[in-house]
Structure 1
Amino acid sequence: MVDSVFENLEYFQDFLENTSKRREDCGKIEELEREIRSVVNEAEDAIELEIYEINKLEKGNAREVLCETLSLLVEKIDDMKRNVMGSSIGTNEVQGYSNPTNEDLQTGYVAKLNPENVVVGLEDDLMRIIRRLKGSMSTREIIPILGMGGIGKTTLAKMAYDDPQIRNRFDVHVWVTISQEYQTRDLLLGVLTCIFNEIKEGTDNELMDMIYNKKLSIFNKIKQGTDNELMDMIYKKLMGRRYLVVMDDIWSNDVWDLMSRTFPDNDNGSRIILTSRLKGVAMHADPDTPPHEVSLLNADDSWKLLHETVFGVGHVCPPELEDIGKKVAQKCQGLPLALLVVAGHLSKLERTQESWKDVAKSVSKVVAKESDKCLGVLAMSYHYLPNHLKPCFLYMGIFPEDSDVNIEKLINLWVCEGFLWEELVGRDFLEDLVSRNLIMVRNRRFNGEWKSCGVHDLVRDIILREAEKEKFLQVTKDPSAKMHHARCYSFHSNIQNDLLESSSIGLTRTMHFFRGLGSKQVPLLVCFKLLRVLSVVQYGFEDFPLVITKLVHLRYLQLRSCDDPHGLLSELYNLQVFIVGSLGYNPPTIHETIWQMKHLRHLKVSHSISLPKNPSNNLQNLEGLSCLRLSSCTFELFSAIPNLKTLKLRGRQNEGQGEKMFEHLNSLACLKRLEQLKIRCKELYLFPIPCMYTLPTSLRSLTLSYTFLPWEDMANIVKLPKLEVLKIKNYGFYGDVWRLNDGEIFNQLKFLLIRTNDLKQWKAGSVNFPMLQRLVLRTCIYLEEIPKDFGEIYTLESIELYHCRRTAANSVNEIQEEQESMGNDCLSVLIDDCR
């Protein structure tokens, strides 16, 4: 019976993935998708409820109850499958084509262009596009314009399309809007109409007369041809002519492949501009050239656009409204479409401080109320998503407005929710959502890797609207609000006693409390038997809440407590991520039952902990551990967690020194998959003399803080063959001279940070750091100069100095000047507060 259910679920998944690419029958598809989801959710609920109850029954009784439940589910799911297979959605119906009007023929039978001539903030973009249009390249060139919905892609393309120099440069101009709901035949007819309206020489005069005198009759003749015949007609009409084609709002590779081969490469400088929200489409069209990405407006340009739209170009805003207006502009977060909608609303109001302040308090509500089109433009990106990405995207609504969401945490939540199976797949999903301009990368690491992300406020409004419609998520800001039927809940305010009681507990899988959970509400959690994710971000509990140990389906648990995590926590046999913050002064004690939690992937504790000795099992799935006490590092311990990838260690005073500490570091060598290691030993002088010890050769990132290692110990670190990031913070190394000989080479090191130490002289050369890209020095107040040979490191992109000596800053300036004199202007130098 389980195999039957699983087979049907695979069928449903394939069906939904295929129908999500269809552009017709959207309403029917959405309705059918909801019916499928309802049946599947019901099956999931029933099975997991039986699993929850199974410990209360004898084995035979449990099997009998589960079989009875499954038999009913199999029958219901089989009925659903028969309904899907019998539906007409899977058929390839061709919709009829209606005759265009005279007006359509005159205007080129394309979608109406946006009348807004928004030039604010796009001046530099326009110059770059025009430069590429006028470039000397004779072959046909593709110019993709990329950006999120409402950011001004179409406006930018229209400005370039209408520029007088560009109009005179090309023989034929074609504008065709693709959008999601396109018909190939409509596109081909639209292109032909544009061509016929412009070509007026040679053999086309007779055809032009026919078009203008008998438009409908000639168009009826043209439409009798097949798609291939229309494509051939376009190809022949453009052959030998220099043309400019704009393909606006393109969503798929297929339509690009179809249309692009319709346009000949005459080797005469023809150009094709395409606009898209999807990076994949842009890169598919031209994999060799990065697309032109339109950015959100900065604060000054946002205010300028709002000001000019409300008051007109050259008119002055009343002084008493300027500050409020700038706040309104700022809340639009640089999206031109939102600014235009809000500006239109302001234009209808009295120009008083009170009326403008009301708008400043509710910008997103104004946008939603004033223009369904605005939210509709953004919602198109959501509706075009493949089904496997939709829950990942909607999950961004969990977090408070304007949140910088840690990417590692987000992906772990996706895995625990069951949206995907492993973290590596999560990064692929995130890249897909970023490339579709739905999620924005907020912070990056030195090498460009993503650290945190977020969404535009208007995109978040779309998320909340769609999530509520799909009963996926309810966000509660009002303490007195009632909970509706939803799979996920996110509480952004303190909750009242009866709030949890009003919920439909059978559906709930996720609960995030961003303002804490009161002790009176804790007992109610036992009702949420199917909970997978429980996160209590702020405040905490006096005693560890034992009721949580009853929630056997929990996969993600985050809380803070004055008490130690209880030994019964091992009852949560599904738990994958456990994040606990200690509210006490002493580090929490981890119970020996931790070794029974075989699915645990990440354990994060705010204080340094010692894991119980004599492991009873291996935690093969544990990949992240923070923070472990340095003195507890042993071969025996690490042999029980062999697949650890990230590890944070803390050293404490009076934990011993000398050979014992070397043993602790040597024990790390058995962690063959460890990639990131951080060691912090506050006020602990570990190594008075240099010693030899072995670190894992798999390390890619190493951070040392307050370890007071002698610089001679760097001989142990230089041996790490994969090390790319080295951060030496707060006397990680101790001594006034760091000397490297020619044989000490950091072969893969790309980023080096040195902060707060007593280093005076640094003796090294380019040979020691052949791959270094970025060097950062902070509060190195004794260091006299940077090694002069560093200018010869051809990979070096930047040197940054903060709060260092003036002599060190001068040495960096000399390196930069020397490189510029040799024609190398790639080295960036940043110097701040160096005296």
Structure 2
Amino acid sequence: MAEVVLGGVVESVTGHLVSLISQEIRLACGVRAELEKLQTTVSVIGGMLREADKRRVEAEDVKEWLKKLKELFYDADDLLDDFSTEVLRRRRVMVGGKRILNEVSIFFSFSNQLFYAIKMAHRVKEIRGRIDAIWNDRHACFHLEGNSNLMGSLEENQTRSETYSFEPEMYVVGRDKEKKEVMEFLLNPDFEESVSIVPIVGVGGQGKTTLARKVFNDDKVKEYFEMRLIWVCVSTSFSVKDILRKIVRECSPNKEGIANLDMNELRKKLGEWINGKKYLLVLDDVWNDNRSKWLELQGFLMSGAKGSKILVTTRSTRVAETMTRKFYKLSGLPSDESLSLLMQMAMKEEHEWKNQNLEKIAREIVKKCAGIPLAIKTIGRLLVFSGSTEEDWLNFKDNDLSLINQEEDDIMPTLKLSYDFLPSHLKPCFAYCSLFPQDYELEPRELVYLWMAHGFINKSLGSKKTLEEVGYDYFRELLSRSFFQDMQVDLYGDIMSCRMHDLMHDLARFVAGESCITIDSSHAKMFPEGARHVTTNDQNVLNGFERDRRMRSLFLMVEGSIDIAVLDVSCFRSLRALRICGGHIKVISRSIAKLKHLRSLDLSKNDGFRYLPNSISKLCNLESLNLTGCRDLKELPSGITKLVNLRQLRVRGCYNLRDMPRGIGKLTNLQMLDVFVVGEKLNRNAAELNELSKLTGLREKLTIQSLERVESSSISSEVNASFSMEKLADLQCLRLCWRYFRDVSASNGEEVLEKLRPHRYLKGLRIEGYGGARLPSWVSQLHRLVDIEIKQCQGCRQLPPVDQLPSLKRIFLVALRDLEHIELSKGGTMSQSNFFPSLEEIKLYRLPKFKGWD
């Protein structure tokens, strides 16, 4: 399964080639010609590898052949990334100005360029030669003759077998409550539509088909629908004609000749059965999320009598939403019912497992299964033959399900089908999540930047969406297909975090194979050769392993603390993502500049280091830098302003950070800057506030700190005349912070805050430490405001009206010592129905002079 993460690499290689061949750069010694040849080869092989991912590979020689081909693709990507990095560096140096012209003239001397071109030409030819040699070996591996189809020698991935309404099931526990709720819908005649639809949604193995059977075969249901019940297994192929044929076959007493009916004849036959009749149709195991196809089928089914129902089972909310906005979400079995099912499958009587002290272990096992009946049955079946000791059962509690041999209809093959039907661009994104520990709280934003770092996210031509927005679309689609769960949503409706259930985590590890691995400290020196993305809890890996220079991701995740005197990761030259969180790094080596492929660097929650080396400016591919919670960090290097590809810079929780480096406004690709610290007036190396208005791509949340350092004269001067926070039109939440107002006059604070007027679509506003007597009137004009928080504004006596802001859900007023009144909107009264029309939460705390609404 290791080829799954290769999908992004194939796209990355092709993208690099197209970009590089179009670059206006002198390519001597046939480099351009070699690149064009390599592009053709990559395009052909890339298509073949994507197709191979859809098929089952059994032969060992074929697996080995594909493995060699994948290794070459990784090498080709590194080579091409070297090219693009060199192009980017040259362009950046050329725009650097006269100060470095002498250095440039030396670097770009004819001999230097010639040497580089010759070296790169040799590397390209060597890669092409290796690819050609392996490509030619395909005849031996696949036993092909002439131009036979290479893919024909690989079997298609198996699809799910047909389901039937009458299949006997020996072990069915619970679902009485769910059956009652579904039947209430089916037997309810009070619907506007003649034919109503209810999808049952749940992950593979959750028991959707079992529940549908229990309902379908209930005597009350049969009586209500006058025995006009139809069961059709749709499964992975959604052909309207085939589904209609199955429906007609189920309805017709005489099955002969139905296979030869055309669409017109099928429509007539179907009409004889359902027109004006009250019927129940079950469409089991639907995968189609194309609304047009569903509407085509629905058009043939709408002529039933009032009260007719269509019951659908599907794994995906996305599929359900193509049919209707309301659906039934099936949850797991409760703990006691899960335990009962496990013991039935393991053929254990109650006195046996209680006497043998197995109950505690069994409850841990079913917790791992999340109440999914098929997972419980899989383990229960295996427990029959495993033995009856505590040690035997503990092995199943601690083992990864993906490592346990399973039959075709067990849980892992069933879940694998959900993966097989993912669009190809989502497969590497899902597999990559296996690098995080089980039950880890995943942040969509961080996932997206990691996916971007490896080239997994691709925009369609002409799309106006940012890469981040496309990545969030990927995330939401995986969520809709039940690969993620337990999502946490903020006030603005954005998903802040989610989790991947243990079963889905096991599936991710299964499909990722050796590409994405997790190794504990006892095996840290035994990295498999094919490992490209590694999570480990052993900080000794940072000492370097020569054979692992090709690693593309390194996550060091240690429970407790990581003590690193000097962080040096220069041996991992191919890294795209480096994540070392929650430790004590004292110094970061300047050799970090050698990681020229690096796109994502996460050093969050590390105490100890005060500075980043200025050599970080050489990481010209860096897109995401996360320094959240680095409490000892005092300043960012001036060279950070050269990172023109940087899209995310997070410094929240860096409490000792003194300012932002001058020139930060050059980072016009920034999409996320969570904190901007205003520098001291006399510090010429600190960025002024006006640089913020150049960062028009900023979105989500921004905090501006140390506003007491801003003088009203400077913010209104000619230098800052063009400053406007309204230019940051994609910001959702703005937090404005003064270090209280001891050293700032009230009038100064009022002028500064007036100038900080945000765009009118802002959703969140927080003001802390402000020294003025009143807030500006623009607060009342933020008609999409959802959340407002005013705290520690000791001199503020009056607030402008916010009582009729239509979207305001939360208002917090805390520690406003002098606040006397909150204005009402013109003509507003407390009794009006539109007074705070959407308010859900209000907190008024430490307001000693507050007299009320005025």
- TM-score of the pair, normalised by structure 1: 0.75
How far apart in 2 are the matches of 1:33 and 1:793?
A: 66
Which amino acid is 1:601 matched to?
A: R
Give me the whole-angstrom Cα distance separating, in 2, the residues matched to 1:375 and 1:250: 19
For 2:645 and 2:248, locate their aligned partners in 1 and report how far apart those are by CA, in whole Å.
Answer: 61
SS in 1 for 2:570: helix
Give the AA of the match of 1:725: D
Q: Is the 8 A contact 1:650 1:680 kept in 2?
A: yes
Query: Who is 1:619 aligned against?
Result: 667
Which of 678, 690, 693 does residue 735 from structure 2 map onto? Answer: 678
Q: CA deviation at 1:393?
A: 0.9
Give 1:726 deviation, angstroms: 2.2
For residues 262 and 48 of structure 2, the distance between their equivalents in structure 1, rounded to whole angstroms, comes to 30
* Number of the residue aligned with 1:545: 589
Task: Within 5 Å, give how 1:392-791 maps onto structure 2.
Answer: 392-421=429-458, 422-468=467-513, 471-481=514-524, 482-486=526-530, 488-496=532-540, 500-501=544-545, 503-506=547-550, 508-515=551-558, 519=564, 523=568, 525-559=569-603, 560=606, 561-580=608-627, 585=632, 587-605=633-651, 606-607=654-655, 609-610=657-658, 615=663, 618-631=666-679, 634-638=688-692, 641-645=695-699, 648-649=702-703, 651=705, 669=725, 671-673=727-729, 675=731, 676-681=733-738, 685=742, 688=746, 691-692=750-751, 693-698=754-759, 700-704=762-766, 706-709=768-771, 712-720=774-782, 723-728=785-790, 730-731=791-792, 733-734=793-794, 738=798, 740=800, 746=805, 749-755=808-814, 763=822, 788-789=830-831
Decide which of 318, 326, 340 is 1:290's aligned counterpart.
Answer: 326
SS at match of 2:584: coil
Partner of 1:385: 422
Report the alpha carbon displacement of residue 309 of structure 1 after superposing the two structures with TM.
5.2
Is residue 796 from structure 1 mapped to residue 829 from structure 2 by the alignment? Answer: no
Q: 1:236 Cα shift?
A: 3.9
Question: Equivalents in 1 of 2:546, 2:661: separation in Å?
Answer: 45
Letter in 2 for 1:66: M
Aligned to 2:120: 66
Q: What are the residue-to-residue correspondences of 1:155-234 with 2, within 5 Å? A: 155-170=210-225, 171-180=227-236, 190-196=246-252, 207=254, 219=256, 221-223=257-259, 233-234=269-270
1:151 aligns with 2:206: yes
Contact map agreement 1:544 1:563 (CA 8 A) in 2: no
What does the per-residue CA deviation read over 1:77-114, in whole Å, with 9 as the maximum and x for residues that have no partner? 789999899564789x999xxxxxxxx9xxx9848747
Q: Cα distance, 1:390 vs. partner?
A: 0.8
C-alpha displacement at 1:522, in angstroms? 5.1
Q: 1:48 aligns with which of 60, 68, 81?
A: 81
1:290 is matched by which residue type in structure 2?
K
d(CA) in 2 for partners of 1:351, 1:803: 60
Match of 1:130 among 170, 184, 190: 184
5+ residue gaps, structure 1, are 96-103, 200-206, 208-217, 770-786, 812-835
Distance 1:120 1:762 in 2: 58
How far off is 1:430 after superposition? Answer: 1.0
More moved, 699-708 vs 5-14: 5-14
Q: State how far apart, in whole Å, the 2-side matches of 1:555 and 1:364 are.
A: 31
Question: 1:614-649, CA deviations, whole angstroms, 9 ceiling, x for partnerless residues?
Answer: 539822112322433234562553355444335644
Please list the CA deviations of residues 184-237 of structure 1 after superposition, one character each: whole Å capped at 9, or x if unmatched: 8976665455324xx5xxxxxxx4xxxxxxxxxx65x54455677566544544
Summarize the Cα distance change of 1:645–1:611 in structure 2 as closer, same or farther, 3 Å threshold: farther
**More relative contact order in 1 or in 2 (CA 8 Å, sep 6+)?**
2
Question: CA–CA distance in 1 between the matches of 2:485 and 2:175?
Answer: 20
- In the alignment, what sits opposite 1:783? none
Q: 1 CA distance for matches of 2:391 and 2:318?
A: 44
1:715 is aligned with what amino acid?
Answer: S
SS at match of 2:232: strand
Q: CA shift at 1:490, angstroms? A: 3.2
Q: Deviations over 1:459-496 (max 9, x none)?
A: 1001011101xx43111124324111346433341244
Change (3 A) 1:657 1:302: farther
Single out whichever of 163-172 and 649-658 deviates more from structure 2: 649-658
Task: Report the TM-score, using the length of structure 2 for normalisation.
Answer: 0.73
* 1:573–1:599 contact (8 Å) kept in structure 2: yes
| Deviation readout 1:688-740 (Å, 9 max, x if unpaired) | 46724222432624453641445621534334465443233x42x34696554
Q: 1:232 to 1:766 in 2, by over 3 A?
A: farther
CA distance in 1, matches of 2:170, 2:739: 60
| Deviation of 1:404 (Å) | 0.9
Within 1, Cα distance between the matches of 2:147 and 2:842?
A: 66
Distance between the aligned counterparts of 1:485 and 1:227, measured in 2? 55
Mark the CA change 1:640 to 1:176 in structure 2 (over 3 Å): closer, same or farther. Answer: closer
Q: How far off is 1:513 after superposition? A: 1.0
Q: 1:624 to 1:169 in 2, by over 3 A?
A: same
SS in 2 for 1:405: coil
What is the CA deviation profile of residues 508-542 of structure 1, one whole-angstrom value per residue up to 9, with x for unaligned ones? 2111111277759955x323222111111131322
Distance 1:80 1:793 in 2: 73
Distance 2:233 2:800 in 1: 62
**What residue number does 1:120 align with?**
174
More deviation, 405-414/4-13: 4-13
| Partners of 2:729 and 2:767 in 1: CA distance | 23
RMSD over equivalenced CA pairs, Å: 4.8
Deviates more, 1:656-665 or 1:264-273: 656-665
- Alignment of 1:275 with 2:313, yes or no, is yes
Would you say 1:307 and 2:350 are equivalent positions?
Answer: no
Instruction: Answer whether contact 1:694 1:716 (CA < 8 A) is retained.
Output: no
Distance between the aligned counterparts of 2:274 and 2:215, measured in 1? 21
CA distance in 1, matches of 2:304, 2:817: 67
Aligned AA (1:426): G
Partner Cα distance (1:26, 1:179) in 2: 23
Structure 2 residue aligned with 1:204: none
Rounded to whole Å, the distance in 2 between the matches of 1:358 and 1:802 is: 53
TM-superposed deviation, 1:242: 3.0
Number of residue pairs the alignment of both structures matches: 743
* Structure 1 residue 36: Cα displacement: 6.9
Conserved 8 A contact 1:479-1:495 = no
The alpha carbon displacement at 1:385 in A equals 0.9
Distance in 1 separating the partners of 2:583 and 2:445 = 23
8 Å CA contact 1:416–1:555 kept in 2: the answer is yes
Answer yes or no: is the 8 Å Cα contact 2:448–2:468 preserved in 1.
yes
- CA distance 1:239–1:648, change in 2 (3 Å): closer
Letter of the structure 1 residue corresponding to residue 181 of structure 2: M
Match of 2:8 in 1: none
